[in-house]
Amino acid sequence: QQPVQSPQAVILREGEDAVINCSSSKALYSVHWYRQKHGEAPVFLMILLKGGEQKGHDKISASFNEKKQQSSLYLTASQLSYSGTYFCGTGSTNDYKLSFGAGTTVTVRA
Amino acid sequence: DAGVIQSPRHEVTEMGQEVTLRCKPISGHDYLFWYRQTMMRGLELLIYFNNNVPIDDSGMPEDRFSAKMPNASFSTLKIQPSEPRDSAVYFCASSLWDAREPQHFGDGTRLSIL
């Protein structure tokens, strides 16, 4: 089942912060975050695993609430390059395939 | 390092024709995934392979779709016969060892069926 992302879209000015949320109705083992710019492929940002392990870029932060099956991605001091569509992909305990959310479109303006 | 390579980048063909999309995963990656992306349905997993073996094809929409991975460095996704509703961007992705590792996406094939 597809995870639910919120908000659908957000507009920021450079330097502002934003939070993108991802929630699932299934027990989760992993949450992946990707960013996709228009006409390009999704690019890996972060993986959060059950138990607290994280893998990803130093400038990106995220959290994973295992009890609530929720994850949040934090965009801090946003830059123009942060613009794009952010997708969360969730993996359940029993298999490794990911279900992706509908995406959150982030627009950062000067 | 070379990333995931997909070909062709764009394909325009007429309804009823056979379409073959190709993917070369990153060397050493054990998992290969085929996705379809549309505005209406978002990013959908079609099928994935582990060590060249199909593990889950439950996302393949119809029998018109088939995928193979004859060796560790090559996979194909075929649509026969193609229909206009198959128009989408098809992505191939690969990952190391297991899906707790990042998935690396190719640039995609933009498919238009007229």
Q: What is the pLDDT of residues B59-101, one digit of tens each?
A: 998 899 999 999 999 999 999 999 999 999 999 999 997 767 8
Nearest to B99 among A42, A43, A96 (CB): A96
Q: State the amino acid at position B47 in one-letter form.
A: I
Q: Do A41 and B33 touch (CB under 8 A)?
A: no
- Spell A43-52 as b/e; 16+ CB within 10 A means b: ebbbbbbeee
- Which own/partner pairs from B56-62 qualify as long-range (CB within 8 Å, at least 24 positions apart)? B56/A95, B56/A97
DSSP B36-80: EEETTTEEEEEEEEETTEEEE-TT--STTEEEEEEETTEEEEEES
Nearest one of A105, A94, A86 to A32, comparing CA atoms: A86
Residue-averaged pLDDT of chain B: 94
Q: Which of A2-11, A37-46, A87-96, B28-37 is predicted with the least confidence, judged by mean pLDDT?
A: A87-96
pLDDT of residue B107: 96
Q: Could you read off the pLDDT of A40-99 as tens digits, one per residue?
A: 999 999 999 888 887 787 678 999 998 999 999 999 999 999 999 999 999 886 567 889
Does A108 score more than 80 pLDDT? Answer: yes
Q: Do B99 and A97 touch (CB under 8 A)?
A: yes
CA-CA distance, B58 to A30, in Å (whole number)? 20
Q: Which of A14-28, A88-102, B49-63 is predicted with the least confidence, judged by mean pLDDT?
A: A88-102
What is the chain A residue with the closest CA to B98? A96
Would the CA dihedral through B42, A58, B50, A89 be positive or negative?
negative
